[in-house]
Amino acid sequence: MPETIELTSPSGTVKIRPDQKLSLFTTFRIGGPAQFMARVTDESQAEAALEWAEQMDLPVTSIGGGSNLLVDDAGIQGLVLAVRTTGKDAETRVRVEEDDHQVRIWVPAQMPISRLGHLSAERGWTGLVWCAGLPGVVGGAVVNNAGAHGGEMIDQLETIDVIRLADRKIESWPAEKLNAAYRYTVLKHAPRPRDVVVLGATFVLPRGDAEELVKQAKEFSAWRKQAQPTGACAGSVFTNPDGSYAGYLIDKAGLKGTTVGGVKISELHGNFMVNSGEATAEDVRQMIALIQDEVYRQFEVRLVPEIEQVGGK
């Protein structure tokens, strides 16, 4: 096995580690090894890692907080670039411009989305309080156009900053370029490995009442803990079909509690799968197919996976 490679950048050392277990970097706790992996915290570190990958002629796959993600049992070839840091460190990187009516905030991609919801509430900024309690980080939430409680990332998004893999050039994209829709952006459905990595996002938020917003944030977090499982899971597995809810249909089909290998449909919420500790990506794929077939057989509705599948030889 090759040894850890250390690269220099203006903001610190970047370590390229071989044969890293990706199950440790996803909320599902599933996935084979990354051929190489680098954890970076800012643009300069990302540039250093991408330059190395180009020199080694390796494809690059970026991941954020690891939610809404199913990594293949064979792992991921090339370099896996994880844009992440502690929530406390990410918060120090937030940039704010304020006036009497609204604020414009730039948030790093590695900022935990739940902390963003609570932070905006504490500051009296409306529009992102629904993020409170959600898993994952801002970069992944933007790519997936995450949402809850009637809100979506695209609602307050002004721009995103990305770094292009081809030439390591940093660009600012207007939100419209994402062509966002329900749990969709052009980035989410771009072929893997994608040709850009999200570095940060700018949101425009109206001012509101901080006391009321903090109350809402606490309620959203409490609701999520009561209504959704807290074990090793990836979040919602399927998008909601028009006029209904995936969890409702799975429940009505009698599938709650169903087990395939090491993965089980949550008894708490039908649109969640929980890893018992021994689940594989193949178990999850078989469970997805089973649910799709049974729900279609009973209700003639074809459920569409929301979870993103990556990796494989």
Catalytic residues: 183, 236, 306
The partner residues of 83 in beta bridges, in order of sequence, read: 40
Closest to 135 measured CA to CA, from 122, 144, 127, 126: 144
DSSP-assigned letters across all residues of 244-297:
S-HHHHHHHTT-TT-EETTEEE-SS-TT-EEE-SS--HHHHHHHHHHHHHHHHH
Radius of gyration of the chain (CA): 20
Strand ordering across the sheet containing 259-260? 259-260, 263-265, 273-275
H or E element at residue 116? helix 113-123
Closest to 234 measured CA to CA, from 184, 269, 259: 269
**What are the structure tokens assigned to 174, written together?**
């207007």
Buried b (16+ CB within 10 A) or exposed e, 199-215: bbbbbbbeebeeeebbe
Sign, CA dihedral 260-266-271-272, equals negative
Sign, CA dihedral 65-67-69-75, equals positive
The partner residues of 163 in beta bridges, in order of sequence, read: 170, 197
Quote the CA–CA distance of 184 and 277 in Å, as a whole number.
Answer: 30
Using DSSP, state whether 46 is helix, strand or coil: helix
